[in-house]
Homo-oligomer: A and B are copies of this chain.
Amino acid sequence: MAKNTTTVLDLRQERSNPPFSINDMTEFYDGGSEATKKRKLISSLILNNPAFKWLERHYWTRDEAYSSNVQCLAEVAKILRKHKLNVDDFMHYYWLVSTIGEIVSFEMHLTTWKSALQDQGTPEQRKKWLPLVENFEIVATYCQTELGHGTFIRGFETTATYDPKTREFILNTPTLTATKWWIGEVAKTATHALVMAQLWTQNKCYGPHLFILQVRSLEDHTPLPGITLGEMGDKFGYNSIDDGFMQLSNVRIPRDQMLMRHSKVTLDGSFIPPKNPRLTYVAITLYRCQLLMLCSNYLARASTIAVRYSAIRRQTETKPGYEPKVLDYVTQQNKLFPHIAGAYALACTGHYMIDFGKRATERIKLEDLSVLAEFHGISSGLKAFCTEMSVSGIEECRRACGGHGYSSACGIGHIYNNWLASCTYEGENTVMYLQSAKYLLRCVKNPKSAPLGVSAVLHNPPCKHWDIKNMQDLEKTNTVLEAYRARAYKKVAIADKYLRELQSGGDTSYDAWNKSGIKLVDCAKAFTHYFVIKTFFNMIEKSRLGQSCHLQLHRLSILLALHGIDQNTGDFMLDNFIDFEQIKLIRVKILELFSEIRPVAVCLVDAFDIPDQTLLSVLGRYDGDVYNKLFEWAKEAPLNKTQVRYLLVVVIDCVFVYLA
C-alpha cells in the first residue's frame, strides 16, 4: 500500500515564507508577550503530566471520563502547590490550554465559588473558607439552577429560613421543581456547596441569597443527613462532569454560613438590606468576560483544524491531472476566512472586557457603582452574541471539512458538543439580549457618559448615507465602523419607539415588552455587533505591532466587518444608508481580501499556537500527515479488536443472529 506523504509537503509549502512574524502574532492573540509566556508555562505543566491523557477519551464510558477528571483535579491541586502558582492566573490559562469537555470539574471549585466568596463573603468568611478551597481540603461547588427554574432567579423555590432560637438557617427544597439541578460536580465530587435560596426571616421573604452548606462527609464522602444527591444523566457534551441534583430536607446550618457582606441577618433575625442590590451581579459579569476568551479559543481551534485540512484536501480536477486544494475555492474561503478573523476579534473583545472588568472591580471596591449598569448591560449582550458567533463558526468549520468533518477524528464535533452549552448556560441567550436591550433603552432616556461608549452610539444621529465611494474607502476603519453604528442607532431607536407606542396605546408594560421582543433582541444584537467590530479595530490600532503583522490584522478586521454587512444587507440598507452599488463594492472587496489572505491562511491559524496534544484532531495535525494518521486512528477503534462479531444465518424461514 503506497503511503501518502504529499500532505506533509502541502503544509510545508503553505508555511515556506511567512510575510509576518508568527510569534508576534501569537503574542498579539494572547494579549501580550507576558501572557504568551504564562500560557506556555501552564501549558507545559499540563501537557507533560501523564494524568491529562485526553487523547484516549474517544472511547471512554461516562465512568472512565469522570474518573479521569477526578485524577486531573488531584493533579491540578499538586501542580498549584508545587509551583506556588496564583490560582486565578492558573485557571485563566488552564482553560485556554486544556481540552474542552474535560476541564470543568474544578471550575466551580476554583472560580465560581471563590469569586462569589470574595464578592459576597465577609472578611471572616473569606478568611475561613478561601484557604480550605485553595488547599483542596474541601471540594466546593455552586448551586443555583433548579429543576423548574433557570435564568429567572426570583422564581427559585429553595428556602433558607432563619431560626432565631438556635441561630441557624433551615434549608429546604420544598417541591420537586425546587430540586437543585445542573449542578456541576455535586453528584459525586463536591463536599461543600454555595446554595442560592430564598431568605426567609421574621415571616418575610427577602429574595435569593447565598449559603454555605457542607453536603458530604469529609471522612467517608457520604451525603450528610437530609441531603439527597445524584447525577442527572447524560448530556450533549461535558460528559466527564458529574452534573447533578440536590434535594434538601430541613438541613440546618449556623447563621455565619450565609454570605453577609452586602445583605445581613442579625442575631435576632432582622434583615439589613444591601447598599446596592446590583452588587451581586459583579461575579457573574466578570465570569461572562472570561467566557469571551473561550469563545475565541474554541473558534480558533476549529478554524485551525479546518484551514490546515483544507490546505491538504484536494477536490475536482480543474485542469487535466490537477485537483486544487479545497482552500483555493472561493466558496471555501468564504466559509473559513471570516472565522479566522472572528477568532482574533473575539480574543480582542475578551482581553478588552477582562481588562475593563478589572478596572471596574477596583472602582466598585471603592463603592463607585457608576460603571456597573453599563458593564452588566454590555457584557450580557456580548455573552449572547459571542457564544453564538463562536458556536456557529465552529459548526461552519466542521462542515467545511466535508465528510471527514463528521468523524471524531476531525475533533471539531467534540468542541461543538461541549461548547454548545454556552448558548444556554450562564443565562439563556435570548434573555441576555433582552437584558442588554433594557439597558440600551434606559440609556436612550437618560444620556450619560459611559466609559464603554454606549452614549456615543445612541446620542449622535448617524449621517444619512454611507461615505463609501470606491474600494479604497473600504480600507478606512472609521468609515466602515460608521455603518455598524448607524445600524445600532436605528435598531435601538426602532425598538424604543415601538415599545413606547404600544405603551401609550394602552398595553401593559409586560404586554408591550413581550410584543417588542423581536425588535429588542435585534437592537441588542446590532449594538453588540458594533461593539465587537469597534473593539477589534481599536485593539489593532493601539497595539504596537510591526507593519507586517498590522497589515494582516487590518485585512482580517476589514474582512470581518464587510462580511458582517454582506450577511445582513437588509439591516444596513435601512433608510437607504447603504446602496446597491456599495454592496457590490463590498463583494468585490471581499474577493480581493480572500486572495490576499489565502497565502497566509495557514500561518494565521498557526499563530493561535494550539499544540496537537490539546487540538486532538487528526485532520488538523500540525504536520499535515492526515491520511496515514486517519488510518492508524481507525485501526485503534474498539470494534476492531475482533474481526468477526456476529454471523447472520438464514435457516429456511427465519434469520438467526449468532455471536461469532
Contact = CB atoms under 8 A, between A and B. Distances in A.
B408 A235 contact: yes
A396 B624 CA distance: 35
B59 A175 contact: no
Interface in A619-641: 627-628, 630-631, 633-640
A17 interface: no
Given A4-B176, A637-B234, A330 B627 contact: no
A317 B509 CA distance: 13
Given A176-B2, A233-B407, A319-B510, A222 B627 contact: no
Interface string A182-203: 1000011100000000000000
Contacts of A237: 406
Contacts of A319: 510
Contacts of A646: 67, 70, 188-189, 221
Contacts of A170: none
Contacts of A408: 233-236
A84 B616 CA distance: 49
Contacts of A245: 631, 634
A510 B318 CA distance: 6
A62 B59 contact: yes
Nearest to A576: B580
Interface in A551-593: 568-575, 580, 583, 587, 591
Contacts of A334: 517-518
Contact of A154 (B70, B236, B317, B515): B317
Nearest to A654: B78
Contacts of A636: 233
A91 interface: no
A4 B147 CA distance: 11
Interface residues of A, number: 133
Contacts of A587: 518
A177 interface: yes
Contacts of A276: none
Contacts of A517: 329-331, 334
A447 interface: no
Given A403-B425, A645-B66, A660-B220, A230 B637 contact: yes
B644 A403 contact: no
Contacts of A417: 236
Contacts of A628: 176
Contact of A569 (B233, B332, B570, B647): B570
Interface stretch (A40-48, A132-140, A537-545): A132-140
A654 to B, nearest CB: 7
Interface in A498-524: 510, 514-515, 517-518, 521
25 contacts: A2-B176, A58-B233, A63-B639, A66-B645, A81-B653, A81-B654, A135-B650, A152-B323, A155-B316, A176-B631, A187-B639, A221-B644, A221-B646, A221-B647, A231-B640, A232-B407, A232-B637, A233-B636, A234-B408, A234-B637, A236-B406, A318-B514, A330-B517, A335-B430, A406-B424
Interface of A: 1-4, 58-59, 61-63, 66-67, 70-71, 73-74, 77-78, 81, 135-137, 139, 145, 147-152, 154-155, 173-177, 179, 182, 187-189, 220-223, 229-237, 242, 245, 247, 314-319, 323, 328-332, 334-335, 399, 402-403, 405-409, 413, 417, 420-421, 423-425, 428-430, 434, 510, 514-515, 517-518, 521, 568-575, 580, 583, 587, 591, 627-628, 630-631, 633-640, 643-648, 650, 653-657, 660
The 5 tightest CB contacts between A and B, nearest first, are: A569-B570, A570-B570, A234-B408, A236-B413, A331-B517
